[in-house]
Amino acid sequence: MSRIFITGVAGFLGSHLAERMLEKGHEVIGCDNLIGGYLDNVPSKAEFYQYDCVYLNSMKKIMKDCDVVYHCAATAYEGLSVFSPHLISKNIYEASASVISAAVSNNVKRFVFCSSMARYGENKVPFTEDMIPKPQDPYGISKYASELLLRNMAETHGMEYIVTVPHNIIGPRQKYDDPYRNVASIFINRMLQGKQPIIYGDGEQKRCFSFVKDDIDCLEKVAFQKGLNGEIINIGPDEEFITINKLAEVIAGLIGFKLEPIYMPDRPQEVRLANCSADKARKLLGYKTRYTLKNGLQEMIEYIRTRGPKPFKYHLDLEIINQKTPKTWKDRMF
């Protein structure tokens, strides 16, 4: 049995990962500041601390005697980062520096960093791990900077590390009352309230959506599998590369909602085509897509319907408000 430390354990990805590790008989310790998660996401058997990752001494204390660290915590707000760069950078880069330093200080054996597809930016699709990152926004820049810091610190101090790149994850437990991120959750929450989805630009941006349980299968393996030190691995499907318009259509069809989307101007720095190759994950981790997009969306719909649709909470401040700031956020249109 290993002691597993998970940042962002009340969040979407972190809570699923914690649940899997507990099922396998491991001890799980986790922290979360609850910016992007729900307290009831935390498994009851996990040792939970409501701590912010930026506080180094706190991280050192609660990470004591842990074997593996999963750094899942992130204010994962790609679009918002263009207008709140200080908040996002602090909670990505500074938080990562704190968690990495605590891991080195505690002689952690292996560190798993959950990065983002935002690292690739305007590269040609499908994104492959050997591409030079070209992040287009403060969020992607902060994620990539955190990767560089991890590599430097891990190689200097002899800690094994892996950079995983889960992308566009969907599923139950995702925060769905957040107006700044999680497009599928936003669409579902609005449609279940009888409201039309709001789409930025022409809706022809294309993405692949990854069901959380498929990603967890791979993330579980990277904690213990040999021969992965220093690897960067995309985790998620490269099938069903669809437009945002099509995503709205699929959700409306599953709910039985008459779709008449509301279109708003493009958001600055949004990448139009974003799709990762899963070839490396298939080779190294035996990755398989078990959930189709419809299967995953149906589980999300049932989760949100059961929990109850909610009003959107504008819980993060806009640092920059100008003519480029989306009206949906300035005027709280969600």
Residues in the chain: 334
CB-based contact 63:108 (threshold 8 Å): yes
pLDDT at 90: 96
Q: How confident is the model at residue 39 (pLDDT cuts 50, 70, 90)?
A: very high
CB-based contact 103:111 (threshold 8 Å): yes
Q: How confident is the model at residue 56 (pLDDT cuts 50, 70, 90)?
A: very high
Tell me the C-alpha to C-alpha distance, in Å, between residue 125 and each of 131, 204, 242: 10, 15, 13
CA atoms within 13 A on the CB side of 160: 15
pLDDT at 265: 96
The residues near 283 (Cβ < 8 Å, ≥ 6 apart) are: none
Reduced to 3 states (helix: H, G, I; strand: E, B; else coil), residue 26 is coil
pLDDT at 217: 93
Percent of the chain with pLDDT strictly greater than 70 = 100
pLDDT 10s digits, 280-320: 999 999 999 999 999 999 999 999 999 999 999 999 999 99
pLDDT at 100: 98
Average pLDDT of the chain to the nearest whole number? 97
Q: Which two tokens stand for residue 76?
A: 């994962």
The stretch 223-238 carries a mean pLDDT of 96
Percent of the chain with pLDDT strictly greater than 90 = 98
pLDDT at 88: 96
φ/ψ (deg, to 5) at 220:
-60, -45
pLDDT 10s digits, 118-169: 999 999 999 999 999 999 999 999 999 999 999 999 999 999 999 999 999 9
The stretch 247-257 carries a mean pLDDT of 98
Q: Which domains does the chain have, with CATH numbers?
A: 3-169+211-235 (3.40.50.720)
The stretch 79-105 carries a mean pLDDT of 97
The stretch 36-64 carries a mean pLDDT of 97
The stretch 17-26 carries a mean pLDDT of 98
pLDDT 10s digits, 190-202: 999 999 999 999 9
CA separation for the pair 194, 179 (Å, rounded): 16
List of E strands, the chain: 3-7, 27-31, 47-49, 68-71, 110-114, 160-166, 169-170, 198-200, 206-207, 210-211, 232-235, 242-243, 262-264, 273-274
Q: Which of 232, 230, 231, 236 is nearest to 218 (CA)?
A: 236
